[in-house]
Amino acid sequence: MKLTICWTARGRQKRFYEDICRKFGIPSYMSVNHETPCDIREEDMSLLRECEKRGFLQIRNK
Protein backbone atom coordinates (compact mmCIF):
# COMPACT_ATOMS: atom_id res chain seq x y z
CA MET A 1 0.00 0.00 0.00
CA LYS A 2 1.48 3.33 -1.08
CA LEU A 3 1.33 6.04 1.55
CA THR A 4 3.31 8.87 3.09
CA ILE A 5 4.65 8.87 6.62
CA CYS A 6 4.91 12.23 8.38
CA TRP A 7 7.34 11.99 11.29
CA THR A 8 6.35 13.72 14.53
CA ALA A 9 8.90 15.22 16.91
CA ARG A 10 8.93 12.02 18.96
CA GLY A 11 9.33 9.82 15.87
CA ARG A 12 12.29 11.84 14.58
CA GLN A 13 14.38 10.87 17.59
CA LYS A 14 17.19 8.79 16.15
CA ARG A 15 16.49 5.66 18.18
CA PHE A 16 12.80 5.43 17.23
CA TYR A 17 13.28 6.56 13.63
CA GLU A 18 15.86 3.88 12.82
CA ASP A 19 13.89 1.09 14.52
CA ILE A 20 10.63 1.96 12.75
CA CYS A 21 12.35 2.28 9.36
CA ARG A 22 14.09 -1.07 9.80
CA LYS A 23 10.91 -2.88 10.95
CA PHE A 24 8.70 -1.70 8.08
CA GLY A 25 11.31 -1.34 5.33
CA ILE A 26 10.81 2.42 5.10
CA PRO A 27 13.59 4.28 3.26
CA SER A 28 15.78 6.51 5.43
CA TYR A 29 14.98 9.51 3.19
CA MET A 30 13.05 12.35 4.86
CA SER A 31 11.90 15.52 3.07
CA VAL A 32 12.20 19.00 4.57
CA ASN A 33 8.54 18.60 5.60
CA HIS A 34 9.49 15.48 7.61
CA GLU A 35 7.66 13.18 5.18
CA THR A 36 8.77 9.86 3.73
CA PRO A 37 6.94 8.16 0.84
CA CYS A 38 6.86 4.38 1.27
CA ASP A 39 5.17 1.12 0.35
CA ILE A 40 3.84 -0.82 3.36
CA ARG A 41 2.57 -4.41 3.28
CA GLU A 42 -1.06 -4.98 4.29
CA GLU A 43 -0.08 -7.31 7.15
CA ASP A 44 2.09 -4.56 8.70
CA MET A 45 -0.60 -1.87 8.66
CA SER A 46 -2.06 -2.72 12.08
CA LEU A 47 1.35 -2.39 13.74
CA LEU A 48 2.03 0.85 11.86
CA ARG A 49 -1.31 2.24 13.07
CA GLU A 50 -0.25 1.37 16.61
CA CYS A 51 2.92 3.44 16.10
CA GLU A 52 0.67 6.27 14.92
CA LYS A 53 -1.48 6.00 18.07
CA ARG A 54 1.65 6.23 20.23
CA GLY A 55 2.62 9.50 18.53
CA PHE A 56 5.69 8.47 16.51
CA LEU A 57 4.23 9.28 13.09
CA GLN A 58 1.18 10.26 11.09
CA ILE A 59 -0.08 8.17 8.18
CA ARG A 60 -1.09 10.21 5.13
CA ASN A 61 -2.63 8.86 1.94
CA LYS A 62 -1.26 11.09 -0.81
Strand order in the sheet with 2-7: 35-39, 2-7, 57-60
User: What pLDDT sits at residue 14?
Assistant: 87
Give CA–CA dist 24/48, Å, rounded. 8
Give CA–CA dist 7/4, Å, rounded. 10
pLDDT digits over 3-56, tens only? Answer: 999 999 888 888 899 999 999 999 988 999 999 999 999 999 999 999 999 999
Q: Let me know the angle formed at the C-alpha of 7 by 25 and 34, rounded to the nearest 5 degrees.
A: 100
User: What pLDDT sits at residue 62?
Assistant: 76
Range 19-25 contact pairs with CB under 8 angstroms and sequence separation of 24 or more: 20/51, 20/56, 20/57, 23/47, 24/48
- Binned at pLDDT 50, 70 and 90, residue 57 comes out as very high
Domain residue limits, the chain: 2-60
